[in-house]
Amino acid sequence: MSAMILDGKALAQKITDELSHIVADYKERGFSPKLATVLVGEDPASRVYVNLKKKDSEKIGIDYEEFYYKDISEEDLLLLIDDLNERNDIHGILVQLPLPRHIDSNKILERIDPLKDVDGFNPLNVGRILLNISDLFPCTPKGIVKILDEYKIPIEGSDITIINRSNIIGKPLAAMLINRGGTVTVVHSKTKNPKEKIKNADIVIIGVGKINFLTGDMVKEGAVVVDVGITRDLNGIRGDVKYDEVSKKTSYITPVPGGVGPMTRAMLLENLIICFSKQNDCAK
C-alpha cells in the first residue's frame, strides 16, 4: 500500500482564502479584527513562530500588534494582559509559550479573557472542550481534526493513539476525538507496551520532536498517520515519522513540512475571527 498524502498546505490555503474574504467584508463595513501577540525572552524558535503569526495575519488583512519583552515580571505581564483584555480594538490575545521559568504560564493563561483566548488555553475554554460545549479549540488539535474530516477519515468508532500528552496538543485533542466517538489512547514516556498501543491504532497522531521516531514496523497496515513533529536540522524542518518506510504501509499520511504546520497557522486566523464575531454583533 502507498499512502495518500493529507495535504495540509492546500487545505490551509483554501481556509485562509475564505477568511480573507470574511475580513474584507468586515473592513468594508468599518470593522477591523485585530490580534495581539505577547513574546517574552529570546528563544529563537518562538521568535520565528511569532513572526509567522504577524505575516499570516497581515496577509489576510487582520490588524496586528506585537508586545515584546526581553524580560518582564509576572506581575507586569498580568497587568499587560489586563490592559489587552480591556482594549476594545484587540479581539485576540496570544501569549507565546514557553514563558521564562520565573513566570507561571497557567496564571497568565487564566488571566486572558476567555472571549479573546485565540489559543483556547484558558481553563474555562479547556473545560468547555471536555464538556463538549465549546466553539473554540486550540489550533493544532483543531487543524488535525479538520484534515481528518476533509479526507473523510472516520473518527467515530476508530482506535486512535496519540503520542503526546501536552496541554497544547495531546490532552485537548484526546477530548475532541472522544467527543466525536473515537476510542482514544494517549501514549507517553511512562506507558507500558507503547508499541502495542501504536500498532493497534487505526489512526496514529504523533508529536514527540524526535526525527524518524515512528518507523514502518510500528504501524498497522492501512493506518492513518498524522505527524505533528517539528524539528529543524540541516535539511530543514523534519517530522517524527520515518516517512519513506511508514508511507509504504499507511493509507493516509501528513507530510512535514506541508501537513499539520500550515493548518495550525490557519486555525489561529480562524480562531481570531471566531473571537472577533463573539465580541461584535455586527459580525454575527
Which residues fall in the annotated binding site? 164-166, 230
Report 3-42 residues binding ligand GUN (CB under 6 A). Answer: none
* 8-state DSSP, 181: T
Q: Segment near ligand GUN (CB under 6 A), from 22-30, 91-99, 149-157, 192-200?
A: 91-99
Q: How far is the CB of 236 from ligand GUN (least distance, A)?
A: 19
Size of the site for ligand GUN (CB under 6 A): 8
The span from the CA of 19 to the CA of 9, in Å, is 15
- Considering beta carbons, is residue 210 or 248 the nearer one to ligand GUN? 210
Q: Is 233 labeled as catalytic in the residue annotation?
A: no
How far is CA 108 from each of CA 102, 121, 199, rounded to the nearest angstrom?
Answer: 12, 10, 39
Q: Segment near ligand GUN (CB under 6 A), from 23-31, 92-100, 173-181, 208-216?
A: 92-100
Instruction: Enumerate the β-bridge partners of residue 225.
Output: 204, 253
Would you count residue 158 as binding ligand GUN (CB under 6 A)? no
- Please state, as a whole number, how many other Cβ atoms lie within 10 Å of the Cβ of residue 1: 11
- Considering beta carbons, is residue 11 or 263 the nearer one to ligand GUN? 263
Would you count residue 103 as binding ligand GUN (CB under 6 A)? no
Q: Segment near ligand GUN (CB under 6 A), from 74-82, 94-102, 197-205, 217-225?
A: 94-102
- Considering beta carbons, is residue 72 or 219 the nearer one to ligand GUN? 72
Closest Cα partner for 143 from 33, 230, 219, 66? Answer: 230
- Considering beta carbons, is residue 251 or 261 the nearer one to ligand GUN? 261
Q: Is 54 labeled as catalytic in the residue annotation?
A: no
- Identified catalytic residue from 56, 119, 202, 227: 119
User: Cell triple for residue 149?
Assistant: 474530516
Would you count residue 272 as binding ligand GUN (CB under 6 A)? no
| Contact criterion met (CB below 8 Å) for 229 and 238 | yes
User: Cell triple for residue 177?
Assistant: 476525538
How far is CA 99 from each of CA 69, 73, 74, 133, rounded to the nearest angstrom?
Answer: 11, 11, 10, 29
- Considering beta carbons, is residue 78 or 97 the nearer one to ligand GUN? 97
Out of 39, 40, 72, 139, name the contact with ligand GUN by CB under 6 A: 139
User: Cell triple for residue 258?
Assistant: 506541508
The span from the CA of 184 to the CA of 144, in Å, is 15
* Beta strand residue intervals within the chain, DSSP E: 4-5, 34-40, 63-69, 92-95, 159-163, 183-187, 203-206, 224-227, 231-233, 236-238, 252-253
| Contact criterion met (CB below 8 Å) for 120 and 136 | yes
Q: Is 119 labeled as catalytic in the residue annotation?
A: yes
Would you count residue 202 as binding ligand GUN (CB under 6 A)? no
Residue 90: partners with Cβ closer than 8 Å, 6 or more residues away: 34, 35, 36, 65, 84, 116
Name the binding residues for NADP(+).
164-166, 230
- Considering beta carbons, is residue 3 or 50 the nearer one to ligand GUN? 50
- Identified catalytic residue from 7, 96, 202, 227: 96
Out of 16, 57, 96, 185, name the contact with ligand GUN by CB under 6 A: 96
Task: Kindly list the residues in this chain that would bind ligand GUN in the complex (CB under 6 A).
Answer: 94-97, 119, 139-140, 168
Query: Which residues are known catalytic residues?
Result: 53, 96, 119
